[in-house]
Chain A
Amino acid sequence: MSIDRRNFFKTIGIAGVTLAVGKSAGATSTESSKTEFRGMLFDATRCAGCLECEIACAKAHNQPEPTDELKVDVLRKTSEVKRCAINYHTTSKGEVLVRNQCMHCNEPACAAACLTQAMYKTKEGPVIWRGNKCMGCRYCMVSCPFDVPKFEYFSANPKIEKCDMCYDRIMKGQIPTCAEACPAEALIFGTRRELLTEARKRIAENPEGYVDQVFGETVAGGTAFLYLSPAPFNEIGFNTKLQNSSYPALTKGFLYSVASVDVLLPALLLGIYSATKKNQSKEEENE
């Protein structure tokens, strides 16, 4: 069989399909990063450990209210029935309370991982989960550097659970229920820019009281949740080895190469194919 015209077009057609697929695949979502993301600032020097935010969160999301006691250095984890958790750490600066929940990354690994955009960075800032899209592959859990998304393993209709910064409340013009519940104003809500300025101001006004770092400013490419702490962040349960650049960027190289491989490789293969075919027909003639 020589490469007649019909086959040639067939192969070109297939190459064309790859081209189209490659193109759509190469295009990355250019989330308008200029919109003012909303965020939250947690100031560990102000938290009193009253768990009011946890209770409000549980109520708002139909989850069991916390019944356990807050004890020093006994880790309380978030789970599929608990979106946020206050923890008590012994540090070089004494005992420090810190709150854990989704960081609402500027460039979330979970959302980049999700093949259906069920995990989604809204233009308002919160990273939300959309059940009508999610297929439960748990790739978001694999990818999140903070181990935030949780999965309902014991349900026939499992959901991914994580803090959504009370997205529905924000859309109604309210503030997240935890920030509303916090009696000590340890947790405040605002635009990320305002909060960063506020955090910087607090450090400047009281350099003795804080470590000179706003956690969340750069980690993982920046997060909407920002932290102030009197003690180094690795002493209050944060993994300070996490990279400062965005996690989705780690896959960019691969994603970009997909389009070009999809286009160039078929052409190359077709070339080799015709070359070896020609050789063979020559050989056959000589036989």
Chain B
Amino acid sequence: MNKTRIITAKEHIPTFSWQFLFNELKPRGKWLTPFNIISIPIILLGFGLIVLRFWKGIGAVTNLTQEVPWGLWIGFDVVTGVAFAGGAYVVTFMVYILNMKQYHSIVRVTVLNGFLAYAFYTGALLIDLGRPWNVVNPIIGNNYGTSSVMFLVAWHFLLYMLAELFEFSPAIAEWLGLKRARKILAGMTIGAVIFGITLSTLHQSGLGALFLMAKEKIHPLWYSEFIPILFLVSSIFAGLSMVIFEGSISHKVFFDQISEKNKKAHNGIIHGLSKICAVTMFAYFFLQLLVFLHEQNWTLINTPMGYWFLVEMIGFVLIPMALFFYSYRTANIFTIKLAAILTMIGVVLNRLNVSIIGFRWDAAIPYIPSWMEIVVTLAVIFTEIWIFRWVINRMPVLRESPSWAKDDNH
């Protein structure tokens, strides 16, 4: 692919040493950016709240009740966050399986995003577990709850994190200058991709399947036996909208890292992704409609929850879908970005409606997250962005790979 590339700059192959690692660990660049000023206090506060949670119990920081045992940390951090991390399996599918080379430049950043998302949501999960010291039980076999959806989700989650780590590992090897390791790791990419897509299909739908037994607890407009399929299909456009959104931010923030060629290609990529969003959203909307008719939910529409359902379906599925279709022709980047943001709001609404808002919507004491739950959630997200930035500034993610690693296309 890069056979004709002319090597201009003197490429420097770093040799691995502890000194090098130590230097890389130090922060770079300006300290007092607006992002740092906002995020540092929140991260510190969040950390304090986590200490409080382990000291006094989950009830000391959350508003969870006996009727609503899962709140923001599960409903938003895990259930919603994983949907947004779906971009990685979709993009690797396009690039490695369908061989759509034009999207190659966004693979690494998307996989990195996905990996960090999973790593941090698992972290958030540990905070939410009442007895986290037993978290290894389903792995070491104390016991294997094989009839549990959560058991399957947990395993698929864990293995997928490994797969993503393998997919990303060539970038780490390039950063450390480990030539041989890079060659071996790059050779494993396709296996990791196939494995990863399979695992994603199942845990994306599995997150929906978690709620199947809560049949009478979830508002009928959001409960159906098709939750797993709906979750899977919506994870496609949720993930891609995230890729579009994250890409346009990265292109501003890390402008200097991106090659001219990739800058030019970026709008084309966004346009291509928007087409996929349009089509999958159409399928999703159609499915939702079928489910709605199948469950005969007409009478529920004329209730407050019914209006709320319409807001989600029309405002944040139908409208962004129309915008995506509109930009199909016009290739208007602004419209696409707007549609991506609306879609993301829609996915947040959908996941929260299933897991929190519609869950025991009739409970005597409704669950409303405490400010502390929100701060911890923000702290998790901000820490993740910190790590993301740290990696981007060091490893060839947005940047081109060093020339010694250019022999193939991984």
Instruction: Give the shortest distance, in Å, between B179 (CB) and chain A (any CB).
Output: 17
Contact call B213/A113, Cβ cutoff below 8 A: yes
Contacts of A247 in B (CB 8 A): 213, 215
Instruction: Give the shortest distance, in Å, between B166 (CB) and chain A (any CB).
Output: 10
Contact call A135/B216, Cβ cutoff below 8 A: no
Instruction: Give the shortest distance, in Å, between A250 (CB) and chain B (any CB).
Output: 5
A103-140 contacts to B (CB < 8 Å)? 109, 112-118, 131-139
Contact call A138/B143, Cβ cutoff below 8 A: no
Contacts of A272 in B (CB 8 A): 97-98
**A154→B191 CA distance, assembly (Å):** 46
Contacts of B142 in A (CB 8 A): 116, 132-133
Q: A21-B155, A115-B150, A156-B55 are in contact. Are A11 and B194 (CB under 8 A)?
A: yes
Number of A-B contacts (CB under 8 A): 202
Contact call A254/B190, Cβ cutoff below 8 A: no
Contact call B190/A137, Cβ cutoff below 8 A: no
Contacts of B59 in A (CB 8 A): 153-154
Q: Please give me the residue from chain B that is nearest to A143 by CB atom.
A: B213
- Across the interface, B146 reaches (CB within 8 A) one of A24, A113, A135, A254, namely A24
- Interface residues of B toward A: which range? 35 or more
B66, B148, B191, B210 — most chain A CB neighbours (10 Å): B148
Contacts of B217 in A (CB 8 A): 142, 145
**A158→B67 CA distance, assembly (Å):** 17
Q: A115-B148, A115-B154 are in contact. Are A269 and B198 (CB under 8 A)?
A: yes
Contact call A273/B131, Cβ cutoff below 8 A: no
Contacts of A157 in B (CB 8 A): 131
- Seen from chain A, the residues whose Cβ lies within 8 Å of a Cβ on chain B are 1, 6-7, 10-11, 13-15, 17-18, 21, 24-25, 27-29, 79-80, 109, 112-118, 131-139, 141-143, 145, 147, 150-158, 239, 241-243, 247-248, 250-251, 253-255, 258, 261-262, 265-266, 269-270, 272-273, 276-277, 279-280
- Seen from chain B, the residues whose Cβ lies within 8 Å of a Cβ on chain A are 54-60, 62, 64, 66-67, 69-70, 93, 96-99, 128-132, 134-135, 137-138, 142-152, 154-155, 159, 187-188, 190-195, 197-198, 201-202, 205-206, 209-217, 225, 228, 359, 408-409
